Amino acid sequence: MKKITTVLLFAFMANVTIFAQATLPDTCSFVGTTVPTGWVWTTTNLTPYYPASGNPAPAAKFSLSGDMLTISFTTTPGLLSYDIAGNNVGSAWTGDFRVEESVNGTTYTTVGTAYTSITATGPYVHHTAMLTGASRFVRFHMITHTAGNIGLDNVGIRAGVSTTQQMNVTQSGNTILNGGSFVAGVAVLTPLPITFTVQNLGTVGTLNVTGATLSGPAMADYAITSSFPFAVAPVGNAPLAITFTPSAAGTRSAILTIANDDPTANPYIINLNCMGGTSATEPTAQPTALTFPVNKSYRIIGNFTAAAGTPDGYLILRKTGSAPTDLPVDGTVYTRGDMIGTSKVVASNAATGFMPNDIKSSTQYFFAIYSYNGVGTFRNYLTTSPLTGSVTTSGTMMPAAFYSSISTSTPTFVTDLHNLVNPHNIELYSNYGPFMMNFLYQRDTTGGAHVATCSYSGENITYIGTFDWTTNNMSREHTYCQSWQPTVNDPNFTSRGEYNDYHMITPVDQNNVNAIRSNYPLGIVVGTPTYSYMGCKKGLDAAGHMVFEPRDSDKGDAARCMLYQCICYTGTGTNGNTDATYGGSWSLPNHISAAIPFGQNQNVLKTWNILDPPDKFEISRNDFVDSLQNNRNPFIDHPEYVCHINFDSMTYSAADNCTGLGIYENTSASADLISISPNPSNGNFMINYTSAKAEKVSMKLVDMLGRIVYVNDTKVNSGVNQMEILLQNVNKGMYSLEFITENGKQTQRVIIQ
């Protein structure tokens, strides 16, 4: 929970403004995770940065129509400078991109000439322009995007010199914009003196303040105590005093209008939103008509109708499993990601739409929306009868007929599957952060922070602001190692689809995980690991080969990532790579290097594919990548497909070649006779077995290393039999339950959490 406390003055006081402003001169080179105060992004990228491009890197990124970077400032501007370049492999940027300035933040004029085309991947070009002295806003605006992207770097605005009078108002050192707001609070019928400071930022002309008036619904609660007119010398200041005496509890709103001879700020208006007591007026109504116009396996968007009475904002809570019943506390400001009991804050603002993250397929999400008024410790929530609703996300978004042309009984199965998923759209490796991290992997947490998880180890990385790979010690891991890829020596390798494929790239810790895995194969570590980090480890497998083992819940994911790469790019030429080991077939390597004279065991990957089937997140991930690349990982949609491919040679197997793995057997004449629930479990679960006769059965639980951790022989009766398994001191992980009857053996996966 994040609680925002306002300034204490006599009773309770706070200052807020509509738009934070920069102090000139100001610059930004886009290093770090946030832009400076007064700089605001309007973008669907969420992470609008190029980590590997700039002058020097990083740089701001503009890639879609409507992308804007707006800068607001309070004083006269001077010279604007910036560096700009095209940022798209193979094609120039085209569209309508403009640098604009505005006096009021509403009406903008173009600075210089509008850009319509910028050369692809050319050098950053430095530009300058003199801004109009009356301007208080500058924005970089991609009005129309046709092709390519734009990189923007080293933006700076110098302070200008105003010779004419220029009015600015502060209170306790904080600027209140013309049209901004001031908030304070005091006990009912108690006078509260408030003094504003009127500044003249001009260097020559005298500022003449000729009068001030009050208007609005609670104007009678305010009194102007200063005398008029008064003059403010150049670069000088003078007080303007009022008194607030609330006649009733709650919000007491009025408008202070100050007449003056500043040519750009007459009149100067301050919205007075002071409180009688310690809370704003409670809203009288909740919003209505909650709908979900976007419902995908990886994303939902909710909309609702604003509440009657126009409250200041809405607090939106989310929960899975049941509707939120947690109540917000008056005087507390919650930020996105905070927890109220068991409910997570999705949003806290005036918008009537929201887009939560951390969305998984086939999951029901419940929402409760509360109206509120007031800022800071004056916040007052209407906690009765909130707007509620729920939505169940889509299951797989795989098109119904997507695999209609694919059959595991057809000799051309491998070729057919390859042709189905390749060619496809190419999304650049550098865009993995803006797309995959911020739209899929990023989760909100308390204090306005975000969390992303290392796929291999399970480590949670917490960060505030925009995700940055270097700052967070994360990397974009090629599950199928770069050095294994037949096209690695192609001069254009990093622009090819196989290098950039999001189906195969996954986020991991760089120093503690990625650097340790290096280009070793994935496998099962036996005995004492040579290295371990949280859920992953490195060591020797049963054959004495050095392997890297990801955490249990990622084993199937990693396997399907790697096997996807094989099927998607099989047949891709070597493009000058003379290493005969690969031969362009994209088979799993059997000899990685002189230092690693062995390869990737396909049976390990096939075993993991069965023991760790696709979960809800992996299904969502497949759908999201499909929305970007226009292709799917077929082994997530159909895990059984891997059993008809020999990945050592990328050839077809008519027979199910997973049956010899020892974890995928069913020699019983009757299939699906056993079921396990719950699964996953904490080690205590029930086995339901339907038998055609009384017989003796044998049960054996085997871990991933082949060690027997539980064995039991028992007699069962004809019909349905229930057997309770109570396991103690058994490690978390995946296990194989072998259920042997007189007719044969069945094996099922068991997960203990």
In sequence order, the 6+-apart residues with CB closer than 8 A to the CB of 10 are: 186, 192, 193
**Rounded percentage of the chain residues whose pLDDT exceeds 90:** 56
Give pLDDT, residue 53. 78
Range 288-392: architecture per CATH = Sandwich (2.60)
Q: Which residue has the higher pLDDT, 753 or 470?
A: 470
Q: Please check whether residue 704 is in contact with residue 734, taking contact to mean a CB–CB distance below 8 angstroms.
A: yes
Using CB atoms within 10 A of its CB, is residue 588 exposed (0-12), middle (13-18) or buried (19+)?
A: buried
**pLDDT score for 666:** 47
Residue 106 scores a pLDDT above 80: yes
Nearest partner of 212 among 170, 241, 175, 253, judged by Cα: 241
Q: Which residues of 418-428 are buried (b: 16+ CB within 10 A; e: fewer)?
A: bebbbebebbb
pLDDT, tens only, 501-520: 999 999 999 999 999 999 99
Is 60 exceeded by the pLDDT of residue 4?
A: no
Domain boundaries in the chain? 26-159, 163-276, 288-392, 413-429+476-658, 665-752
- Out of 23-37, 145-159, 351-365, which region has the weakest mean confidence (pLDDT)? 23-37
pLDDT tens for each residue of 436-445: 998 899 999 9
Report pLDDT for 185.
93
Degrees, nearest 5: CA angle 680-683-686:
75
Distance CA 622, CA 618 (A): 6
In this predicted structure, the answer to whether residue 13 has a pLDDT above a threshold of 60 is: no
Encoded tokens for 519? 């280009």
Residue 10: its pLDDT value, please?
29
Above pLDDT 70, what percent of the chain? 91
Q: Which two tokens stand for residue 407?
A: 């059959």
Give the residue ranges of DSSP H helices in 378-444. 413-421, 432
pLDDT value at residue 748: 77
Q: What is the tens place of the pLDDT at every residue in 288-341?
A: 999 999 999 999 999 999 999 999 999 999 999 899 999 999 999 999 999 999
Task: Give the per-residue SS3 of 475-532.
Answer: EEEECCCHHHCCCCCCCCHHHCHHHHCCCCEEEEEHHHHHHHHCCCCECCCCCCCCEE
* Lowest mean pLDDT across 364-373, 418-427, 501-510: 418-427
Average pLDDT over residues 156-170: 87
Is the pLDDT at 75 greater than 90? The verdict is no
Q: Do domains 288-392 and 665-752 have the same CATH topology?
A: yes
Distances (CA, A) of 651 to 96, 412, 601, 654: 50, 9, 16, 10
CB 275 within 8 Å of CB 12:
yes
- Sequence-distant (≥ 6) Cβ neighbours of residue 674 within 8 angstroms: 687, 688, 689, 690, 739, 746, 748
pLDDT of residue 461: 95
Give me the residues paired with residue 477 across strands.
Answer: 506
Please measure the distance between the N-terminal and C-terminal CA atoms of the chain and give it in whole angstroms.
29
- The pair of structure tokens assigned to 715 is 């007699």
Tens-digit pLDDT profile for residues 281-299: 999 999 999 999 999 999 9
Q: Give CA–CA dist 192/170, Å, rounded.
A: 17
Average of per-residue pLDDT across 109-121: 80
Tell me the CA distances in angstroms from 165 to 75, 171, 199, 235, one per residue in order. 11, 20, 10, 9
What average pLDDT is seen over the chain?
A: 87
- Euclidean distance between CA atoms 294 and 740, whole angstroms: 48
Model pLDDT, residue 724: 86
Pick the CATH number of 26-159 from 1.10.3680.10, 1.10.540.10, 3.30.420.40, 2.60.120.200: 2.60.120.200
pLDDT tens by residue, 533-577: 999 999 999 899 999 999 999 999 999 999 999 999 987 643 333
Q: pTM for the whole thing?
A: 0.76
Tokens of 278: 């310690």
The per-residue pLDDT for 11 is 33
Does residue 316 contact residue 354 with C-beta atoms inside 8 Å? yes
**In the structure, what pLDDT confidence band is assigned to residue 89 with cuts at 50, 70 and 90?**
low
Q: Which long-range contacts (CB under 8 A, 24 or more apart) does 220-229 make?
A: 220/247, 221/245, 221/246, 221/247, 221/252, 221/254, 221/274, 221/276, 222/254, 222/256, 222/272, 222/274, 224/256, 225/193
Please answer whether residues 161 and 78 qualify as being in contact, where contact means their C-beta atoms are separated by less than 8 angstroms. Answer: yes
For the residues 168-194, what does the mean pLDDT come to? 91
pLDDT in tens, 257-269: 999 999 878 999 9
Higher pLDDT, 50 or 553: 553
Query: Which tens digit of pLDDT belongs to each residue from 634-689?
Result: 999 999 999 999 999 999 999 888 876 755 544 444 444 677 878 778 888 888 88
- What pLDDT is recorded for position 520? 98
Q: How many other CB atoms are found less than 10 A from the CB of residue 508?
A: 26
* Distance of alpha carbon 545 from alpha carbon 274, whole angstroms: 72
Question: In this structure, what are the phi and psi dihedrals at residue 380, rounded to the nearest 5 degrees?
Answer: -135, 120
Mean pLDDT of the 150-177 span: 87
Question: Is the domain 163-276 a CATH 2.60.40.10 member?
Answer: yes
* CA 182/CA 109 separation, integer angstroms: 30
User: Which CATH number is associated with domain 665-752?
Assistant: 2.60.40.3080
pLDDT in the model for residue 30: 85
The answer on pLDDT for 349 being more than 80 is yes
Strands 364-373 and 387-392: antiparallel
Q: Is the pLDDT of residue 275 over 90?
A: yes
Pick the range with the lowest mean pLDDT from 84-93, 141-150, 612-621: 84-93
